[in-house]
Chains A and B, each alone.
Chain A
């Protein structure tokens, strides 16, 4: 199927199982991982990409990813380093990938949104403004995942 807008994107994601959502979410976040580089984020993404992850594994990487998220906040009054702030959203996206899933959650959508925010931070940092093609790239990833 071809995905051409966010409505289709979101509902296609919602139709996936939690495990499938984690796998595709990990691919979204992988695209922006370079903005973070944090080993805990990497660990979370590696685990999320696997189809056979256990709840115990999830808990461990979840905690680590959350620490990465909390540590990368920009403090009130500090100068904003937009590239670093992108890293914060990458961590946030990784947290979405490995959090315990409630029935109504669309954690892949959450991860996708945070990944887009990370990309936007990067383009703000390089002075290119807010336009980027991250959404379209995510559609392509999802299409490829569904077809495989």
Chain B
């Protein structure tokens, strides 16, 4: 298979397979988790404004008192790479075009130099959090193959995409194909790894907010 065939394959069949597995996987996992249901709480509720599942979905994004200084890398590094990923994925013109082709939706992107910077910052942040995971006793203790795998799955698309745009190391066609392939791998594995938190974080925060909101505690 030569470069062009590889590229054509990942853009066509590969993408179809990956997106299908992704969509089916996400739907299945959501069903698997949330169909377990929850017993209603019949204790008398204490209603306090600001204490609810919806509030917590947003409020939980703010570090609680005293925690930022206990683990600045987790919070700062985490925010940088999440936001960086979002910028690179959703505000880069070629990506927006792809989304337009798939769904019809589109929006203005950011200048490519900005995206370039965002990609570099994202990768740097990801390396920092990886090093932190290796260095900090608790993170090291908790980490399993799944953590290293998830990091790699997330890092490679950013790296290969950036390298493609920079025309680094490999010819553009190959680099682009590799980039798309790594994205497809990410899509395929996302529903079945800790990366699924991208979806369940809303459910989890909502549950904890609701359960505690019932007691009048704004969490």
Do A and B come into direct contact in the complex, CB within 8 Å? no
Residues of chain A touching chain B, judged by Cβ–Cβ distance below 8 Å, are none
**Which residues of B approach A to under 8 Å, CB–CB?**
none
